[in-house]
Amino acid sequence: MATSASARLQEPRPPASDGMNAADGPDGRSRFVRNAWYIAAWADDVTRSAPLGRTLLNEPLVLWRTEDGIPVALEDRCCHRHVPLSLGRITGRTLQCGYHGLEFDATGQCVKIPGQARIPPGAHVPAFPAVERHRWIWVWMGDPGRADPGQIPDYRWLDSPDWTAPVGEFHLKAHYQLLVDNLLDFSHLQFVHRRTIGTDAIADIPSSTERCENRLEITRWIMDSPPPPLFDRAYGGFGGNVDRWMNCSYTAPSSVTFDIGCALAGTGAPEGDRSQGIEIRSLHGITPETDRTTLYFWGYARNFRLDDDALTELLAKGASATFAEDVEVLAEQQAMLDRSGRTGFVDIGGDSAGLLARRLVAAQLAAETGAC
Amino acid sequence: MATSASARLQEPRPPASDGMNAADGPDGRSRFVRNAWYIAAWADDVTRSAPLGRTLLNEPLVLWRTEDGIPVALEDRCCHRHVPLSLGRITGRTLQCGYHGLEFDATGQCVKIPGQARIPPGAHVPAFPAVERHRWIWVWMGDPGRADPGQIPDYRWLDSPDWTAPVGEFHLKAHYQLLVDNLLDFSHLQFVHRRTIGTDAIADIPSSTERCENRLEITRWIMDSPPPPLFDRAYGGFGGNVDRWMNCSYTAPSSVTFDIGCALAGTGAPEGDRSQGIEIRSLHGITPETDRTTLYFWGYARNFRLDDDALTELLAKGASATFAEDVEVLAEQQAMLDRSGRTGFVDIGGDSAGLLARRLVAAQLAAETGAC
Amino acid sequence: MATSASARLQEPRPPASDGMNAADGPDGRSRFVRNAWYIAAWADDVTRSAPLGRTLLNEPLVLWRTEDGIPVALEDRCCHRHVPLSLGRITGRTLQCGYHGLEFDATGQCVKIPGQARIPPGAHVPAFPAVERHRWIWVWMGDPGRADPGQIPDYRWLDSPDWTAPVGEFHLKAHYQLLVDNLLDFSHLQFVHRRTIGTDAIADIPSSTERCENRLEITRWIMDSPPPPLFDRAYGGFGGNVDRWMNCSYTAPSSVTFDIGCALAGTGAPEGDRSQGIEIRSLHGITPETDRTTLYFWGYARNFRLDDDALTELLAKGASATFAEDVEVLAEQQAMLDRSGRTGFVDIGGDSAGLLARRLVAAQLAAETGAC
């Protein structure tokens, strides 16, 4: 079902402003897909030494671990007088509010109130399914009965022994869909990133986009050409021209991974044999924090020269500097959208994947509200 | 009419959310008791060298002194073009606007307009009754005809020669009732103040609460026990066990004083003979500034070792550090209340005094609006 | 048609609050005169090395120059995804968006979209007439068909070889009309500027005000008196008493220039012969940025000792310090107006010119909306 991006552009499309606003509710607040796994934090940042407060989908969460090391996500608001539980302490098996000492177990049930024996009915806080996977703590913000860990997007390159992955995070001052738009569009590379990874060529490389349920797969190949400088420097001599791929996988609502690499030309990479090449996975974990801010987690994994710390450092700095350029321009875009009321957009060819992604999100939202 | 706190809890109570919101008007703005004396500033901060701008109950005030040293409180807004009068200068007997030089006397009447002889009708600003007492300037924000200085809450320990009282103030980023709740509840001591004065015992000490018109008197006694470390260190040997009291007096809407101390056991302290003991008055003057901020004045008076400056310094630092812990947690509580819409509170035993205090405030508000 | 200020005050006047609010729309947002030339920037700040973002009348503009050096003003919002064009680059003959590289010519038409040949209909951004004159870039925010450069207010003293003019600018945190009020009123000098140029005398000097279409001319003369200290110091001996003038010219909506000077008494200055005197032009260019902020440009020109750099420096510092005092008090006034709802003003004599100016603006606004 692969179609070319240009063909995709011929499809009838709703007005652009709809496309940009699909996720907004009538009150001007964003509506977020709730039945999805979102990254709440790096696993290392969720400990037993202190609870961690985070906001996801405009809601306050507190993250901590039980004595068994199991991650827990509760509403970060004591049911007594609404003090954030993240100001409290982790006791043996409970999270203790820092104000009056109420204690909550991993299910959110209040199990102790200092100075009184009785626990009143209603003394609990909402708990959210939480899973540790691929160095992240994932939280399910929707119907708990549908929280299937099997649906957690695949980021196995972060914790596989066959890969080395420096990581980082940004606090993005923009709606998460602006970041998804950004990642699904290659045409901005030569402008936003002209001081880092920008290349004039990239916007002109033909791509194909495949849709499969809640995923988009975008494929780009450049055959039999000189290896690009980054790969040449990072890896060493390929001994000739290479076949090079720049693939992108999007899983709605907000997971984006890139599969980038090259192999000696004619050794079968397009057919799946990458043994004569090297691979990089540029991994982007995106979590709506508020209507106007986003938690942006990233990793930059490679499957070669795994123990070369200097290379790891070099790639980490490069990736971080590049993503920081996006973070900066998206904050400016959000600020202008807030000024201008977000109507009157003119679409271009590079928007096709981003607009498709917004439709997948719109479909998820519609399914949640029973509208389809 | 003393009743135990636990008995008090059996009373029918309005839903908790009502208790928390009683003072809010339908527009979401706070309603404040107006017929009350509020502390506007330390008396030393109101001088003739420069006027002092303050906000009380959301309204801008300017404080200054006449040639006779009498404190004056006017609306801090020139009737001409609304420039704050606190930017101006104090002249012989007037406050002069810093923009066009209009002069106002202690009644708020405009008495001079540079460049013209005529004073237009309506050229005045509201004046508020102001009284200097106990090192503070008190202002009456309500009906001037009811401004009886006899109703100023008693803080005589601040300026009595028989007491020594270090003082301080905080700018609290929370509604004033959150601070009243905090002070009337002892159960938070072991959690908020566990690094300073916290003690596991305190929440379990039985207390009795007495209501008398617009006041609450909370009484706690621990009989015939070792002197607590603070008193032991500050005073020296009691020569044996002590009878110890921790009493709290609340006057609606926002005055809280603690009467703390201990005396050699069996020497009659419970019956009123404190001659074999020492006393501390922890004094809290609370003024609503805005819906979300509060002027918080405190003093920490003692009746022993009056001239021991090192002890004064020690107690001042201790009190300030302790109160700062409350100021911090209350700001976090206010921020979360602003996020959560302030519904759905679960009450516990420690709330009883705070909920009673809110009823006293609600009664005062109802009386002002003629509703009872 | 000259009338005295006092006579002017006898006219029937609308209530003061109307006078203060005439320019506000029913939604609480300011309405600004659009058919007028506004100063957007110093000409030197609009270059080809980088575009300059500015806000005028609440709208985002980007300023740049074509290869011929012609200044251009476009809406600072790419029609594609609303990223500010001021983040982009100036190419040969276009402004290139920094996100996806769309290019716009001096008319605002999109002339290039990387990666595609077709330019969609509607791919343009609004352009505004822009003219460089008197060291400033002037922009017309209204009906382009009415943009007559002949209507640009006269500030020729800024770039005339016969004058020397230090310049500067402020970002004022107040509505522009508060600054116009301030400049048209001399009575504030002795209060706001008592540490700089304040003089007790000035409020009592009789003035006459003449209205001519969209202009006000305010004239003040002091005949046959000792030269004021500033002029005496800056110029040297006049050899006797002087005739001195302090004239002010206002052109609606927001241009104010002062013609200040003195000449040897009896040499004909009042009749127009200023050959025995010296002149200063205090020049104020005022541009509404938002409802609550203003771009404030100034120059301070003289026609004597043109090459005396020490004098230039002295006058620049003096002017800047004086205007900074106004900027400070107006920000406080604006903050208080925002608190108080802007009703209930008491007018005084010194307001007459400011109130007349507001009527001229009201007439311009009414003309634009077809109401008169």
The beta-carbon neighbor of C99 closest among A191, A203, A337 is A191
Chain C residues within an 8 Å CB radius of A173: none
Q: How far apart are CA B110 and CA A26, in angstroms?
A: 51
Q: Which of A68, B265, A322, B122 is nearest to C348 (CA)?
A: B122
pLDDT of residue C236: 74
pLDDT of residue B239: 83
Q: Is A16 on the interface with C (CB under 8 A)?
A: no
Structure-block tokens of residue B185: 């509840």
ipTM of the complex: 0.89
**Residue C38 in this model has a pLDDT that exceeds 80:** yes
The beta-carbon neighbor of A348 closest among C82, C83, C100 is C100
Per-residue model confidence as pLDDT tens digits over C226-239: 888 778 877 777 88
Superfamily of domain A42-141: Rieske [2Fe-2S] iron-sulphur domain (2.102.10.10)
pLDDT of residue C239: 83
Å from B294 to nearest chain C CA?
18
Nearest CA in chain A to B347: A80
Look at C101 and A187 and tell me if their CB atoms are within 8 Å.
yes
Nearest CA in chain C to B83: C333
* Measured CA distances, C276 to B349, C266, C273 (Å): 89, 10, 8
- Residue to mutate among B348, B351, B355, with most A CBs inside 10 A, is B348
Q: How far apart are CA A349 and CA C100, in angstroms?
A: 11
Q: Is C28 on the interface with A (CB under 8 A)?
A: no
Q: Is B10 on the interface with A (CB under 8 A)?
A: no
Nearest CA in chain A to C80: A346
In three state form, how does the secondary structure of chain C look? CCEEHHHHHHCCCCCHHHHHHCCECCCCCECCCCCCEEEEEEHHHCCCCCCEEEEECCEEEEEEECCCCCEEEEECCCCCCCCCHHHCEECCCCEECCCCCCEECCCCEEEEECCECCCCCCCECCEECEEEECCEEEEECCCHHHCCHHHCCCCHHHCCCCCECCEEEEEECCCHHHHHHHHHCCCCHHHHCCCCCCCCCHHHCCEEEEEECCEEEEEEEEEEECCCHHHHHHHCCCCCCEEEEEEEEEECCCEEEEEEEEEECCCCHHHCCCCCEEEEEEEEEEEEEECCEEEEEEEEEECCCCCCHHHHHHHHHHHHHHHHHHHHHHHHHHHHHHHHCCCCCCCCHHHHHHHHHHHHHHHHHHHHCCCC
Chain A residues within an 8 Å CB radius of C81: 181, 333, 345, 351
SS3 label, residue A39:
strand
pLDDT of residue B13: 34
pLDDT of residue B78: 97
Q: Is C101 on the interface with B (CB under 8 A)?
A: no
CATH placement of domain B39-141? 2.102.10.10
Mean pLDDT, all residues of chain C: 89
β-partners of residue C255 are C251, C285
For chain A, the structural domain boundaries read 3-25+154-368, 42-141
Q: How far apart are CA C44 and CA C46, in angstroms?
A: 6
Structure-block tokens of residue B306: 């009056």
The beta-carbon neighbor of B122 closest among C340, C346, C349 is C346
Residue B26 has a CB neighbour count (10 Å cut-off) of: 6
Q: Exposed/middle/buried for C196, CB within 10 Å: 0-12, 13-18, 19+?
A: middle
Residue A334 has a CB neighbour count (10 Å cut-off) of: 21
Q: Is A237 on the interface with B (CB under 8 A)?
A: no
Nearest CA in chain C to A204: C115
pLDDT of residue C15: 36
The beta-carbon neighbor of C348 closest among B60, B87, B100 is B100
pLDDT of residue A60: 97
Q: Which CATH number fits domain B3-25+151-368: 3.90.380.10, 3.90.25.10, 3.40.50.720, 3.40.50.1390?
A: 3.90.380.10
Q: Is A185 on the interface with C (CB under 8 A)?
A: yes
Look at B99 and C192 and tell me if their CB atoms are within 8 Å.
yes
Look at A82 and B342 and tell me if their CB atoms are within 8 Å.
yes
Q: Is B171 on the interface with C (CB under 8 A)?
A: no
CATH placement of domain C45-141? 2.102.10.10
Å from C328 to nearest chain B CA?
10
Between these two residues, A207 and B283, which has the higher pLDDT value? B283
pLDDT of residue A200: 55
Q: Is C113 on the interface with A (CB under 8 A)?
A: yes
Which C residues in the span 46-85 are in contact with B, Cβ-Cβ below 8 Å? none
Nearest CA in chain A to B205: A115
CA atoms within 13 A on the CB side of C212: 8
Chain B residues within an 8 Å CB radius of A83: 329, 332-333, 336
Look at C188 and B100 and tell me if their CB atoms are within 8 Å.
yes
Using CB atoms, which chains have 3+ pairs under 8 A with B?
A: A, C
pLDDT of residue C230: 76
Look at B346 and A114 and tell me if their CB atoms are within 8 Å.
no
Using CB atoms, which chains have 3+ pairs under 8 A with C?
A: A, B
Using CB atoms, which chains have 3+ pairs under 8 A with A?
A: B, C
Chain A residues within an 8 Å CB radius of C101: 187-188, 190-191
- pTM for the predicted model, two decimal places: 0.91
Å from A11 to nearest chain C CA?
15
Q: How many CB pairs under 8 A join A and C?
A: 72
Look at B190 and A77 and tell me if their CB atoms are within 8 Å.
no
Look at C123 and A346 and tell me if their CB atoms are within 8 Å.
yes
Q: Is B349 on the interface with A (CB under 8 A)?
A: yes
The beta-carbon neighbor of C100 closest among A188, A339, A340 is A188
- Residue to mutate among A61, A76, A99, A124, with most B CBs inside 10 A, is A99
CATH architecture of the region C3-25+154-368: Alpha-Beta Complex (3.90)
Å from B322 to nearest chain A CA?
13
Chain A residues within an 8 Å CB radius of C79: 344-346
Q: Which of A170, A125, A130 is nearest to A38 (CA)?
A: A130
Look at C82 and A340 and tell me if their CB atoms are within 8 Å.
yes
H/E run at residue A256: strand A255-264
Q: Is A349 on the interface with C (CB under 8 A)?
A: yes
pLDDT of residue B11: 32
Give percent of chain C above pLDDT 70.
88
pLDDT band at C199 (very low <50, low <70, confident <90, very high): low
The beta-carbon neighbor of A188 closest among C60, C77, C99 is C99
Q: How far apart are CA C342 and CA C15, in angstroms?
A: 12
A20 contacts A352 by C-beta, under 8 angstroms? no
Whether the domain at A3-25+154-368 and the domain at A42-141 fall into the same CATH topology: no
Please give the average pLDDT of every successive group of 10 residues along chain A, which has 372 residues.
Answer: 34 38 58 97 97 97 97 97 97 95 98 93 96 98 97 98 98 97 89 68 78 94 86 80 94 97 93 94 98 97 96 94 95 93 83 95 91 46
Look at C349 and B113 and tell me if their CB atoms are within 8 Å.
yes
The beta-carbon neighbor of A348 closest among C60, C87, C113 is C113
Cis peptide bond upstream of A206, omega within 30: no
Chain B residues within an 8 Å CB radius of A110: 346
Nearest CA in chain B to C185: B100
**Residue B12 in this model has a pLDDT that exceeds 60:** no
What's the angle, vertex CA A108, arms to CA A102 and CA A110, rounded to 5?
Answer: 35
Look at C82 and A350 and tell me if their CB atoms are within 8 Å.
no
Average pLDDT of B102-129?
Answer: 96
Structure-block tokens of residue B363: 């009664």
Average pLDDT of B217-221?
Answer: 94
pLDDT of residue B260: 93
pLDDT of residue B202: 66
Per-residue model confidence as pLDDT tens digits over C233-259: 777 778 889 999 999 999 999 999 999
SS3 label, residue A257:
strand
Look at A191 and C123 and tell me if their CB atoms are within 8 Å.
no
Chain A residues within an 8 Å CB radius of C80: 345-348
Q: Is A283 on the interface with C (CB under 8 A)?
A: no
Measure the N-to-C terminal CA separation of chain B; round to a whole number of Å: 23
Beta-sheet pairing, B293-302 with B167-172? antiparallel
Measure the N-to-C terminal CA separation of chain C; round to a whole number of Å: 23
The beta-carbon neighbor of A333 closest among C79, C83, C96 is C83
Using left for φ > 0, alpha for ψ between -120 and 50, and beta otherwise, residue C272 falls in left
